[in-house]
Chain A
Amino acid sequence: MRDSRMAGEKQHRLRFTLRTMLGVAVTVLIFFPIYWLLISSFKTQAEMRLAVPTLWPKSFHWSNYAEAFRVIPYARFFMNTLVMSVGIVILQLNVALMAAFAFAKGRFWGKEVLFFLVLAALIVPDQVTFVPVYVMMSKVHWLDTFWALIVPSGASAYGIFLLRQAFKSLNNDVLEAARVDGAGRFTILYRILLPMAKPTVVTLGVLTFISSWNSYFWPLIMTNTNNMRVLSVGIAMLRDSIAGDEAMYFHIIMAASVMAIIPIVLVFTIMQKHIVSAMANSTFK
């Protein structure tokens, strides 16, 4: 009896070890491209072209990072991306908060039909709207301005849906009490509901920030000068401009990419717990 239990424990421990080894191997494999990006950003051009690639840079060539600022207007691109992303987050959150409030707690005509129109927006791909929106933006002379980068992303059906779900789960008594105390709708929304739904709002803000920071298709179409380009488009451009022998500049592209990832990694690392649980919850509830 005792022997078999010990054998079982031994087997258990062996399985745990095997599992962990496999887990570590998979993790290393998936992390590898990110690692490769990082170390390539420190290599010299000559080291990039070695017949036997080095897994650790011979010396850390920080000047690649400075070079990225010289080859493209990197600082400008970075600021553009930041302004665009923050702008979209602020606009989208406010629009979604108001709409979610109306659809969760309000009573008005055609509420169900209108909410269906919001949800239906989820199945319309970007490609369906980009030509007319491009024309619209060019008519009002918004092409190549922050307006064109931010305003078309004003309403997110996903955000409205997520916040509405959060608001619906909140008790009405507090709202009634506030109403009796004479609080207006804006006060109720921003002073009472917003703090109560804070985890969802914060998560939504972070997800919106990350996806705006990473967006490519929309900024590619809406901008056409270096003055207004964002990082994703700028980095792609950096590569296009050196067509031919790509290997010439890849170390600089890698440095430019590393710098573009840093804000995302920061936000992601800080918020990881919230992001993951919110995504898991948002799918079915």
Chain B
Amino acid sequence: MNSNSQSAQLIRETTAKADVSPHTSKKYLQWIEKAKDFVFAVPALIFLGVFLYYPLMNSVYISFTNWNMTKPVKKFVGTDNYVKLFKNEDLYQSLKVTLHYTLLDVVLTLTIGLMLALLFNVFRSKMYAVMRGIIFMPHYISMVIAAMVFTWIYNGQYGLLNRVTDLMGFEPIQWLTNPSTALPALVAVSVWKGVGFAMMLFISGMRGIPNEYYEAAAIDGASGLSRFRYITLPLLSPMTLFLVITTFISSMQVFQSIDIMTNGGPLQATNAIVYWIYTMAFTEFKTGRASALVMILFVIILVLTITQWLVSRKQVHYEG
């Protein structure tokens, strides 16, 4: 605290003391001040309460009822929804699909993002800035439109991709209607959208690494690869962890691309959890069951987030 604010503090305190009268005690004035400060937090708290915390509690409750949205009555059925879900083969299929998608997405997005960061970091020329900007662009194109373009590229009859495979002498592939290619095809769209963002964050992480480290390593005769292995990679770990968590959580919630490109098919090969929740709630109207599934997803995300956070406290290198 510098002298200016100290004197301001002093003035306030003395005037506050001088003001004390039988009617307006110092405590009362302080209470008013606190109330005024608190008022500014109220709108946010109301919004979060009404649109987040209340619905969260409500979802928990609905998950224990047999409600189907069209009926006004909610009957409490205990853990029935959960039991039925866990007995349902579809749950395991859906979990498998989601996990498969998520792992592929996280690994590919981060690896390619890191490689792009290494490629684009070095030169600060205008040309490189433009190229980085272009690579970042897909991040801000809506998933709906990205999915639309890729649907066209993947189209079995007229799509560009099959023209390419045709040129290489392969049979045309029904990318989105073939159970073994549908999921990777969806992942590809997500990776395409995500690598630019990962690259940008990795680059900003790399620029935060003090140059002396590399100079010292160069004096010791460390090769480029070992400099990467022992300096860049460890010092990038906070950035990596952040990307792993955020990519993981968002891929667990994959929805738009499925809704537009595959509708959960073929043969449930892309029926990821959130898409399944959506169809259960809004086309089958099994609201209670859908809410139970929501809770399962929420718990998975929560556990993963906490685990990653705990791991990060032990393993991640933060500077300073």
With CB as the reference atom, state the residue of chain A lying closest to B50.
A136
Task: Determine whether the beta carbon of A123 is less than 8 Å from that of B302.
Answer: yes
Measured in the bound complex, the distance between the Cα atoms of B149 and A97 in whole Å is 38
User: Which residues of A does B touch, CB under 8 Å?
Assistant: 16, 19-20, 22-24, 26-27, 30-31, 33-34, 36-37, 40, 48-49, 51-53, 94-96, 98-99, 101-103, 105-109, 114, 117-118, 121, 123-133, 135-136, 151-152, 154-155, 157, 160, 172-173, 176-177, 180, 185, 189, 210, 213-214, 216-217, 220-221, 232-233, 235-236, 239, 246-247, 250, 253-254, 257, 260-261, 264-265, 268, 272, 276-277, 279-280, 283-284
Task: Determine whether the beta carbon of A154 is less than 8 Å from that of B152.
Answer: no
| Nearest 8 CB-CB pairings of A with B | A106-B37, A280-B204, A155-B47, A214-B142, A99-B44, A132-B55, A102-B40, A102-B41
A131 and B290 contact, Cβ closer than 8 Å, known pairs A27-B131, A30-B138, A37-B145: yes
In the complex, B16 has a CB within 8 A of chain A = no
Task: Determine whether the beta carbon of B135 is less than 8 Å from that of A132.
Answer: no
A128 and B38 contact, Cβ closer than 8 Å, known pairs A239-B260, A254-B149: no
A269 CB to nearest B CB, Å? 8
Given A130-B281, A235-B148; 16 other pairs, CB 8 A cutoff: A20-B127, A36-B152, A49-B158, A95-B43, A102-B39, A102-B40, A106-B37, A130-B55, A131-B55, A131-B69, A157-B48, A176-B9, A185-B37, A217-B255, A235-B145, A253-B152
B70 CB to nearest A CB, Å? 12
With CB as the reference atom, state the residue of chain B lying closest to A153.
B51
13 example contacts (A-B, Cβ-Cβ < 8 A) are as follows: A23-B119, A30-B135, A30-B192, A102-B37, A102-B40, A107-B34, A108-B38, A117-B53, A128-B56, A189-B40, A216-B259, A232-B142, A247-B155
Interface locus among B80-88, B100-108, B195-203, B210-218:
B195-203
A160 and B44 contact, Cβ closer than 8 Å, known pairs A23-B120, A125-B249, A257-B149: yes
Contact with A along B106-122 (1 / 0, CB 8 A): 00000000001001101
User: Which of A105, A131, A220 has the most CB atoms of chain B within a 10 A radius of its CB?
Assistant: A131
Task: Determine whether the beta carbon of A279 is less than 8 Å from that of B201.
Answer: yes
Task: Determine whether the beta carbon of B8 is less than 8 Å from that of A180.
Answer: yes
Contact with A along B23-48 (1 / 0, CB 8 A): 00000000001111111110111011
User: Which of B2, B123, B144, B239 has the most CB atoms of chain A within a 10 A radius of its CB?
Assistant: B144
Q: Specify which chain A residues have a CB less than 8 angstroms from the CB of B158 in the assembled complex.
A: 48-49, 247
With CB as the reference atom, state the residue of chain B lying closest to A189.
B40
In the complex, B77 has a CB within 8 A of chain A = no
Task: Determine whether the beta carbon of B141 is less than 8 Å from that of A264.
Answer: yes
A252 CB to nearest B CB, Å? 11
Task: Determine whether the beta carbon of A30 is less than 8 Å from that of B40.
Answer: no
Task: Determine whether the beta carbon of B52 is less than 8 Å from that of A129.
Answer: yes
The contact size tier of chain B is 35 or more
Q: Specify which chain A residues have a CB less than 8 angstroms from the CB of B153 in the assembled complex.
A: 33, 36
Task: Determine whether the beta carbon of A172 is less than 8 Å from that of B5.
Answer: yes
Q: Specify which chain A residues have a CB less than 8 angstroms from the CB of B253 in the assembled complex.
A: 125-127
Measured in the bound complex, the distance between the Cα atoms of B44 and A154 in whole Å is 8
Q: Specify which chain A residues have a CB less than 8 angstroms from the CB of B196 in the assembled complex.
A: 30
Measured in the bound complex, the distance between the Cα atoms of B141 and A127 in whole Å is 22
In the complex, B137 has a CB within 8 A of chain A = yes
Contact of A257 (CB < 8 Å), options: B148, B195, B197, B200: B148
In the complex, B268 has a CB within 8 A of chain A = no
A189 CB to nearest B CB, Å? 8
Measured in the bound complex, the distance between the Cα atoms of B35 and A163 in whole Å is 21
Interface residues of B in 132-186 (CB under 8 A from A): 133-138, 140-146, 148-153, 155, 157-158, 160, 163
In the complex, B277 has a CB within 8 A of chain A = yes
Contact of A114 (CB < 8 Å), options: B39, B41, B119, B133: B41
Measured in the bound complex, the distance between the Cα atoms of B145 and A132 in whole Å is 29
Task: Determine whether the beta carbon of B298 is less than 8 Å from that of A125.
Answer: yes
Task: Determine whether the beta carbon of A131 is less than 8 Å from that of B259.
Answer: no
Measured in the bound complex, the distance between the Cα atoms of B239 and A81 in whole Å is 34
A276 and B136 contact, Cβ closer than 8 Å, known pairs A117-B48, A129-B55: yes
Measured in the bound complex, the distance between the Cα atoms of B4 and A172 in whole Å is 10
Measured in the bound complex, the distance between the Cα atoms of B119 and A108 in whole Å is 50
Measured in the bound complex, the distance between the Cα atoms of B123 and A106 in whole Å is 45
Q: Specify which chain A residues have a CB less than 8 angstroms from the CB of B116 in the assembled complex.
A: 26
Measured in the bound complex, the distance between the Cα atoms of B133 and A114 in whole Å is 39
User: Which of A130, A173, A246 has the most CB atoms of chain B within a 10 A radius of its CB?
Assistant: A130
Task: Determine whether the beta carbon of B200 is less than 8 Å from that of A280.
Answer: yes
Q: Specify which chain B residues have a CB less than 8 angstroms from the CB of A135 in the assembled complex.
A: 69
Measured in the bound complex, the distance between the Cα atoms of B1 and A172 in whole Å is 9
Interface residues of B in 265-290 (CB under 8 A from A): 274, 277, 281-282, 287, 290
Task: Determine whether the beta carbon of A128 is less than 8 Å from that of B256.
Answer: no
Q: Specify which chain A residues have a CB less than 8 angstroms from the CB of B290 in the assembled complex.
A: 131
Contact of A176 (CB < 8 Å), options: B5, B142, B152, B259: B5
Q: Specify which chain A residues have a CB less than 8 angstroms from the CB of B122 in the assembled complex.
A: 19
In the complex, B79 has a CB within 8 A of chain A = no
A114 and B45 contact, Cβ closer than 8 Å, known pairs A30-B195, A106-B37: yes
Measured in the bound complex, the distance between the Cα atoms of B9 and A193 in whole Å is 20
A64 CB to nearest B CB, Å? 14
Task: Determine whether the beta carbon of B277 is less than 8 Å from that of A127.
Answer: yes
